[in-house]
Structure 1
Amino acid sequence: MRYVKVTWHHDFTDEPTVFFHEVGEDNWETRRVQLYRDGRAEWADESRDTPTVGLAEIEIAPIQEIASQPEFDAEEISKREFETQWSAARNQS
């Protein structure tokens, strides 16, 4: 597994600004957390998605490819950092 944090720089009030991805060896997302400006957090995994958050329908691109787009910052994070965000999001819902 690898863990990726992507920050999306934009002015949309109803769109998430930070994504945390758990990605399998096959580059498919297995869990996701989305954070919003208003403090809301949403999550999805292989057994749960909602109208506003679900797992990616394509493989997760390499970090360098994501980060090459000016509106995104992307970095590898630790499993511990992902799990902290995952627990917080699950406790909110």
Structure 2
Amino acid sequence: MRYLKVFWHHDLPDEPVELYSELDDAGYEIRKVEIYRDGHRDFADGETSSGATMLGEIPIPSLEEIAEQEEFSPALIEFAEFENVWRQAVSGSGGS
């Protein structure tokens, strides 16, 4: 498993600004959290989701490929950081 955090730099009011993904060995998303500018969080896994958040249908590109796009700042993170963000999103305690 790999855990990815991506900051998305944009001015779109209805799009997330932070993306967190739990990826399997082939790069497919298993769980995902999207955090919006106002602090609210949506999530998705193989069984449930909130808001418009959905798991990707194709493997996530490599960290290097994501970083080549200037609007994205990606980083690998530890399981504990992802799990904390996931729990906050699922429990609804991640913002307004």
Could you state the TM-score of these two structures normalised by the residue count of structure 1?
0.95
| Unaligned 5+ runs, structure 1 | none
Q: Which amino acid aligns with 1:39?
A: G
Structure 2 match to 1:27: 27
**Superposition CA RMSD, Å:** 1.2
Residue 50 (structure 1) shift? 4.4
Structure 2 match to 1:56: 56
Aligned residues: 93
Cα distance in structure 1, aligned partners of 2:42 and 2:92: 8
Cα distance in structure 1, aligned partners of 2:65 and 2:11: 22
Cα distance in structure 2, aligned partners of 1:65 and 1:43: 24
Q: Which runs of 4+ in 1 moved over 2 A?
A: none
Q: Which amino acid aligns with 2:82?
A: F
Matched, 1:11 2:11: yes
Task: State the identity as a percent.
Answer: 42
Residue 51 (structure 1) shift? 5.4
Could you state the TM-score of these two structures normalised by the residue count of structure 2?
0.93
